Structure 1
Amino acid sequence: MTSDVGLRERKKRATRTALSRAAWSLMVERGIDAVTAESVAATVDVSPRTFRNYFSSREEAILDAMVQRAGALVEALRARPADEPVWDSLAHVLPDAIMNVLGEREADVAALVRASADRPALLAQQVTAFARVERRVAEVIAERTGADLDRDLAPHLLAAVPAAALRAVATMWADGATGATLPDLVRASIAQLRDGLPLGRAAPVT
């Protein structure tokens, strides 16, 4: 019985992942208006009802796989040396994580930024989805620093850094105003945040 339950859960996770990847691909290739329960279901060869059993909206479907990938960021942060300063850990983990979290190709990142700018519902779903990831990051930071997660503000503030940095970097990069790579922009964002946002004194990233 236990093995049967495990198999069913794996199949459900596989179906959810396939639906989310299909939704993401449709958005990148044809725009967010092409992402419907019917089009996503047809891509995965399931019924629209199956899609609706897993997701309440196309925005949730588009972002679900990305949020799952963000879980690897949490584990990478947890795997850093316990005595390493948190800012150093973030500087080590985030540059390598940006493409894994936001998409496998730079075109994916640009498509997400454009869609989020045009559709507030997609941006709102990002905030909602990443709130769960932030909570997990805050738990890791509290564990490493000995902070009280329920009483100390610092772990929660630091936990907001990854999502905020990734959003800011992706938007700046997609606007085409800089020739820097996405990982380089992430490194610069962490350095500037660590230094207290030295506006007017920090060299621009080119």
Structure 2
Amino acid sequence: MDTTAGGGLRERKKEATRMALHEAAMRLAIEHGLDAVTVEAIADAAGVSRRTFSNYFDGKEDALLYGDEQRMRALLGHFAARPPGETSWTALRAAFHDLSGEIGEPDPRWAAQARLARAHPSVLARQLAHYATFERALADLVADRDGLPAGSTRAVVLAGAFMTALRIAALAWTEQDPPRPMADVTDETLAEMATSFT
């Protein structure tokens, strides 16, 4: 019996359930406002039980932010896969472009999600906690790439600067009128972040 294939199928089903819950949370929050959305409503919209929801997410905020979390995980993966001869900042910018090419222009719902985060402290708190986790993971990857000690100031600052630039760019992108490609807005922000302040 091929247990590897069975494990892969189970993981794909789990991921499909997570995405269904995330998409239901996004749709309901945008349509009705987050305060009016319950975990039960999200589970019903995704066609699963309340208990199943709890197996995947701690609350509606986590379900709402799942897509953002997955994009951050993918970005770390792209960075880790960059050629070792690149500087970390070059590799980070290239990783962002790799991910952008993979997922294309963001769904307009990203802008709605960003506005929801700013309007609801519970979502913003969860989002910032996720970003902090990824920033620490990124700092570890930078230190490893550059041969620096774990927790070195340079690695922490570089990772923090990159993540901050992404947050600034995402906010700017949601407020562009007329809209501009997110990759262009992010490139401008990353270029400015790399400019010396002295």
Same fold by TM-score greater than 0.5: yes
Structure 2 vs 1, CA of residues 47 and 95 (structure 1 numbering), >3 Å: closer, same or farther? same
Alpha-carbon deviation of 1:35?
A: 3.2
- Residues 77 and 93 of structure 1 are in contact (CA less than 8 Å); yes or no, is this contact kept in structure 2? yes
- Residues 76 and 138 of structure 2 are in contact (CA less than 8 Å); yes or no, is this contact kept in structure 1? yes
SS for the counterpart of 2:148 is coil
Alpha-carbon deviation of 1:60?
A: 0.9
Alignment partner, residue 183 of structure 2: 183
SS for the counterpart of 1:196 is coil
User: Mapping of 1:89-168 within 5 angstroms?
Assistant: 89-95=91-97, 97=99, 104-105=106-107, 107-150=108-151, 152-168=152-168
Q: Distance in 1 between matches of 2:88 and 2:56?
A: 36
Identity over aligned residues, as a percent?
35
Q: Which deviates more, 29-38 or 165-174?
A: 29-38
Q: Deviations over 1:137-181 (max 9, x none)?
A: 12221111001113x111122222343222211212222367543
- Residues 20 and 62 of structure 1 are in contact (CA less than 8 Å); yes or no, is this contact kept in structure 2? yes
Q: Which deviates more, 8-17 or 42-51?
A: 8-17
Alignment partner, residue 81 of structure 1: 83
Q: Which deviates more, 24-33 or 56-65?
A: 24-33
- Residues 138 and 159 of structure 2 are in contact (CA less than 8 Å); yes or no, is this contact kept in structure 1? yes
Structure 2 vs 1, CA of residues 98 and 59 (structure 1 numbering), >3 Å: closer, same or farther? farther
Task: Provide structure 2 residue ranges, at least 5 long, that are not aligned to the other structure.
Answer: none
Q: Deviations over 1:3-49 (max 9, x none)?
A: 39835555444323321232123234443235321221112211122
SS for the counterpart of 1:129 is helix
Task: With the length of structure 1 as denominator, give the TM-score of the two structures.
Answer: 0.80
Q: Distance in 2 between matches of 1:167 and 1:155?
A: 18
Figure out how many residues of one structure are paired with residues of the other and give that number: 196
Return the letter of the residue paired with 2:91.
S
Q: Distance in 1 between matches of 2:177 and 2:101?
A: 19
Q: What value does the CA root-mean-square deviation take over the aligned residues?
A: 2.9
- Residues 87 and 190 of structure 1 are in contact (CA less than 8 Å); yes or no, is this contact kept in structure 2? no
